[in-house]
C-alpha cells in the first residue's frame, strides 16, 4: 500500500501532525520520523525505493529535499500569515518592548513572504537568508547580541541560537497548514496510484506486441524497453534502462540504429520501414520522434523480424482466402478517365448509399461484377458477405438448389444434413446475380418472391427463413426485349430496374482504350519482366478496333502481346502479326452494330463437333472453342443441344 512519510524537525510538530493525521483518516498509512535538518536528505533517500509516494515536511527541510532532487514528491508545510503574526506577537512578549529588534533566519523559499508581512505589520525585522543547513551555524555566529533582541526561525536555528545566549522564538506551523499538507499528500497518492495503473496497463499492452519498442530521451538515454525488444537486444530492461545508447559500443544492433536515432532527434525526421541486416537477420525498423508542444523530447524505435512479418502475411492471406464471399474491389479499382466511366461510377456510388435493388447493364467484359463489389464495399453492408453467382453457368435445377438450399432428403444425391443456400449465406450482405437474363421462368418466379417477401424456403422444406440481403443483378442483354418476347417476367423486371447502372462499352469510352492499354502494358511488363513500348501507329490501331470483348479482351490481348513479342518497340505491323485471332464478333449482337455473326448452322455444328471431340467435357469443349463455360452453356440452350442423349 502506498504511504506518506512525515519528517518533523521538532517534537511539537511531530505530535501535532499525528493528531491531524488521525483526524483526516490517514494515520494508518503515514510513517512519522523525527529528524534534524542535517539528516533529512539521507533519510529521504532511504525512502526512495520503498512504497512511500509522498513526503511531508516543514519549509526548511522541504527546501533542502527539493534541492537534493529527491525522486519522491515533496509536500511543504506552509507558514501562513497567521502563523507568522502569532510568532511576532510571542517574540514581542519576550522583551516587553513595543518595538523589539527581531532577526529571522529563513531559507530562500520563505524569505520574501516574511519581509512583505513585516513591512505590513511595521515590525523591526531583519531577515537573513539560508541556502544550506550548514549556513545556520555560520550565520548565527556572525550575529551580535547587541543588535538583536529576539532571534526567530525553525527548530534547528532557535536551538543553536539559544545555546549561544540569544532569546529565541520558534515559528510553528498551525493546524490549518498541517491539514492542507496532508490533503495535498493524499491527492498525490491518488494521482500516483492512477498513474501506476495506467503505466502497468501500457506496459502490459506493449509487452504483448511482437514489435520491439525502445524509447530514448533527447540525450539518447534509454527510457523504456518492452519484452520483444529485450529478445532482439539480448539484454534485460534493467541492464538497458537509464543508459545512453552510444555506451553500447559492441552492440551491433544499437550501433546500426544510432545514425537514424540522431536524425530523428535532431531533425524530427520520421523514418519508416528501414530494413537493416543485423547479423543473419533482416530487421524492419521505424524511427519516430516524440514531440511535446512542438519540441522534440525523445524518440521511439520499433523493430520487427522481417521473417515474422512474412509468416504473418502468409497466415493472414490463408485465413482471408478461406473466408468465402469477400468483395475485393472498390470504386478506386475501376480504371478509366473518360466522362462515360466517371458518370457510371458516380451513379453507382450514389446508389451504394441506399439499400434498394440495383440492376447493372453492360456488355460482356465491361466489369459488371467490379461495379457490384464496389457498390457493396461502399454501402453499409460492407462488413457483411458478398455472394456472387452466374445464373448462366449452372443448369436450372442446380441453380435453384444453390440459391435456395435444401433440406435432408430433398432429392437424390442431396447432402445428408442438407445445405444452406446462397441467399441465406448472403444474410446482412449482398448477393450478386450475374447474367440474370439466363434464369429459367420458375427461378424468376421464386426470385420475385424473395424480392417481395425477403424470405426463402429451402427445397424440400415447408418453412420460410427470413433474410436481410441486398440484391444486385446484372445482364448483358436488353431485358425489355426479353420481356416483350415472354422470356423474362415483366413484374420481376420492374422489381429489378428500380435503380439502374449502365456501364459503357470500351469503344464508347473516350480516351480509355489508350489509358487502359498503357496501364495493362506497364502491369504485364513488370509481371513478366519483359519491357515493351507501343509507338503511335500501334496505339492508333488499338483505338480504332471495336473491342467487342471490352476490357477483358483488351487486358488479355496486351498480356499475350507482352509474352509473345520479342521486339521492344511495338508498331502497327508487329501488332497485326501477333493479332491473328482478332475478331469483330461480339457474343451479344444487341450491343455492336458492326457485328457479323457466323451462320447458325456453322456455329452449331462447330459446337457439336467440339463436344464430341472432348467426350462431352464442357470445360475442354469451351477451351477448344475459345469461349468461357457460361457462354457455351448459353449457346447449348440456344441451339437446343442435349449433351446427355447424344454424347454420353
Is residue 595's pLDDT more than 60?
no
Q: What is the pLDDT of residue 310?
A: 65
- At 151-188, the pLDDT tens digits run 998 888 888 899 998 999 988 888 888 999 999 999 99
The stretch 358-365 carries a mean pLDDT of 92
Is residue 435's pLDDT more than 60?
yes
The stretch 499-518 carries a mean pLDDT of 90
Average pLDDT, the chain: 83
Structure confidence at residue 391 as a pLDDT band (50, 70, 90): confident
Is residue 411's pLDDT more than 50?
no
Q: What is the pLDDT of residue 405?
A: 84
- At 607-631, the pLDDT tens digits run 887 887 787 888 788 877 777 777 7
Q: What is the pLDDT of residue 6?
A: 94
The stretch 15-38 carries a mean pLDDT of 91
Q: What is the pLDDT of residue 45?
A: 93
3-state secondary structure 372-416: HHHHHHCCCCCCCCEEEEECCCCCHHHHHHHHHEECCCCCCCCCC
Strand locations in 35-177, DSSP E?
52-58, 74-77, 102-107, 125-130, 150-153, 168-170
Could you give the CA distance from residue 131 to residue 464 in angstroms, rounded to a whole number? 90
The stretch 212-221 carries a mean pLDDT of 90
Q: What is the pLDDT of residue 373?
A: 93
Contact 505, 366 (CB under 8 A): yes
Q: What is the pLDDT of residue 313?
A: 56
Which H helix or E strand runs over 185? helix 175-207
Q: What is the pLDDT of residue 400?
A: 79
- At 217-276, the pLDDT tens digits run 988 898 888 888 888 778 888 888 888 887 877 777 788 888 888 888 888 888 888 888
% of the chain beyond a pLDDT of 90? 21
The stretch 587-601 carries a mean pLDDT of 36
Q: What is the pLDDT of residue 597?
A: 38
Is residue 320's pLDDT more than 80?
no
SS3 state at 641: coil
Could you give the CA distance from residue 558 to residue 367 in angstroms, rounded to a whole number? 17
Q: What is the pLDDT of residue 238?
A: 83
β partners of residue 431: 387, 471
3-state secondary structure 325-371: CCCCCCHHHCCCCCHHHHHHHHHHHHHHCCCCCEEEECCCCCCHHHH
* Displacement of CA 393 from its chain's centroid (Å): 41
Is residue 47's pLDDT more than 90?
yes
Give the dihedral sign, CA 96/99/100/102. positive
What domains appear along the chain, each with residue ranges and CATH number? 3-78+177-191 (3.40.50.2300), 81-172 (3.40.50.10660), 209-309 (3.30.450.20), 331-502 (3.40.50.300), 506-578 (1.10.8.60), 600-647 (1.10.10)
Could you give the CA distance from residue 97 to residue 95 in angstroms, rounded to a whole number? 5
Q: Which residues contact 54 (CB under 8 A, 6 or more apart)?
A: 4, 5, 72, 73, 74, 75, 184, 185, 188, 189, 192
Query: Taking Cα atoms as reference points, which of 433, 632, 354 lies closest to residue 446?
Result: 433
- At 1-12, the pLDDT tens digits run 789 999 988 888
Q: How many CB atoms lie within 10 A of CB 172?
A: 19
SS3 state at 460: coil
Structure confidence at residue 544 as a pLDDT band (50, 70, 90): confident
pTM of full prediction above 0.75? no
Amino acid at each position: 500500500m502506498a504511504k506518506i512519510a512525515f519528517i518533523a524537525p521538532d517534537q511539537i510538530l511531530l505530535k501535532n501532525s499525528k493528531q491531524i493525521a488521525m483526524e483526516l483518516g490517514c494515520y494508518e498509512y503515514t510513517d512519522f520520523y523525527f529528524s534534524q535538518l542535517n539528516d533529512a536528505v539521507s533519510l529521504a533517500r532511504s525512502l526512495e525505493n520503498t512504497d512511500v509516494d509522498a513526503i511531508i515536511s516543514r519549509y526548511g527541510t522541504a527546501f533542502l529535499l527539493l534541492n537534493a532532487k529527491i525522486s519522491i514528491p515533496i509536500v511543504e508545510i506552509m507558514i501562513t500569515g497567521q502563523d507568522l503574526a502569532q510568532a511576532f506577537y510571542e517574540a514581542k512578549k519576550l522583551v516587553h518592548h513595543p518595538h523589539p529588534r527581531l532577526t529571522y533566519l529563513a531559507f530562500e523559499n520563505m524569505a520574501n513572504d516574511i519581509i512583505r508581512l513585516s513591512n505590513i505589520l511595521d515590525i523591526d525585522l531583519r531577515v537573513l537568508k539560508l541556502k544550506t543547513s550548514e549556513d545556520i551555524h555560520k550565520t548565527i555566529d556572525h550575529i551580535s547580541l547587541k543588535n538583536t533582541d529576539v532571534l526567530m526561525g525553525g527548530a534547528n536555528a532557535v536551538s543553536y541560537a539559544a545555546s549561544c545566549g540569544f532569546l529565541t522564538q520558534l515559528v510553528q506551523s498551525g493546524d490549518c497548514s498541517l491539514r492542507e499538507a496532508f490533503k495535498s499528500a493524499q491527492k498525490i497518492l491518488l494521482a500516483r496510484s492512477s498513474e501506476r495503473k495506467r503505466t502497468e496497463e501500457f506496459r502490459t499492452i506493449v509487452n504483448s506486441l511482437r514489435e520491439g519498442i525502445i524509447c530514448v530521451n533527447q540525450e539518447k538515454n534509454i527510457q523504456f524497453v518492452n519484452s520483444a525488444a529485450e529478445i532482439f537486444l539480448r539484454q534485460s530492461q534493467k541492464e538497458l534502462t537509464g543508459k545512453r545508447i552510444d555506451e553500447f559500443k559492441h552492440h551491433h544492433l544499437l550501433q546500426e540504429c544510432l545514425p537514424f536515432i540522431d536524425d530523428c532527434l535532431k531533425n524530427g525526421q520520421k523514418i519508416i520501414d528501414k530494413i537493416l541486416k543485423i547479423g543473419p537477420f533482416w530487421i524492419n525498423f521505424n524511427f519516430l520522434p516524440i514531440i511535446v508542444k512542438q519540441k522534440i523530447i525523445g524518440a521511439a524505435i520499433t523493430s520487427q523480424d522481417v521473417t515474422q512479418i512474412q509468416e504473418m502475411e502468409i497466415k493472414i492471406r490463408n485465413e482471408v482466402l478461406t473466408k468465402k464471399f469477400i468483395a475485393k474491389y472498390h470504386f478506386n479499382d475501376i480504371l478509366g478517365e473518360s466522362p462515360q466511366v466517371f458518370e457510371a461510377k458516380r451513379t453507382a456510388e450514389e446508389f451504394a448509399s441506399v439499400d434498394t435493388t440495383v440492376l447493372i447493364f453492360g456488355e460482356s467484359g465491361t466489369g459488371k461484377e467490379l461495379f457490384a463489389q464496389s457498390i457493396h464495399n461502399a454501402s453499409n453492408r460492407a462488413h457483411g458477405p458478398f455472394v456472387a453467382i452466374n445464373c448462366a453457368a449452372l443448369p436450372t435445377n442446380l441453380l435453384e438448389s444453390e440459391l435456395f438450399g435444401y433440406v435432408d432428403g430433398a432429392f437424390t444425391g442431396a447432402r445428408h444434413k442438407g445445405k444452406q443456400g446462397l441467399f441465406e449465406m448472403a444474410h446482412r450482405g449482398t448477393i450478386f446475380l450475374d447474367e440474370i437474363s439466363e434464369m429459367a421462368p420458375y427461378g424468376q418466379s421464386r426470385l420475385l418472391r424473395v424480392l417481395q417477401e425477403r424470405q426463402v424456403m429451402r427445397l424440400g422444406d415447408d418453412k420460410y427463413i427470413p433474410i436481410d440481403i441486398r440484391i444486385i443483378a446484372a445482364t448483358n442483354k436488353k431485358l425489355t426485349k426479353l420481356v416483350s418476347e415472354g422470356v423474362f417476367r415483366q413484374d420481376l423486371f420492374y422489381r429489378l430496374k428500380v435503380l439502374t447502372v449502365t456501364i459503357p462499352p470500351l469503344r464508347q469510352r473516350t480516351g480509355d482504350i489508350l489509358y487502359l492499354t498503357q496501364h495493362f502494358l506497364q502491369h504485364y511488363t513488370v509481371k513478366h519482366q519483359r519491357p515493351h513500348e507501343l509507338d503511335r501507329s500501334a496505339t492508333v490501331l488499338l483505338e480504332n478496333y471495336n473491342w467487342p470483348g471490352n476490357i477483358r479482351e483488351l487486358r488479355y490481348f496486351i498480356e499475350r502481346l507482352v509474352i509473345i513479342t520479342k521486339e521492344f518497340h511495338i508498331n502497327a505491323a508487329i501488332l497485326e502479326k501477333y493479332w491473328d485471332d482478332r475478331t469483330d464478333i461480339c457474343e451479344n449482337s444487341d450491343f455492336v452494330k458492326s457485328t457479323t455473326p457466323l451462320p447458325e448452322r456453322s456455329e452449331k455444328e462447330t459446337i457439336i463437333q467440339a463436344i464430341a471431340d472432348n467426350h462431352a467435357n464442357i470445360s475442354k469443349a469451351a477451351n477448344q472453342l475459345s469461349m468461357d463455360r457460361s457462354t457455351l452453356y448459353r449457346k447449348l440452350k440456344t441451339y437446343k443441344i442435349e449433351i446427355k442423349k447424344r454424347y454420353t
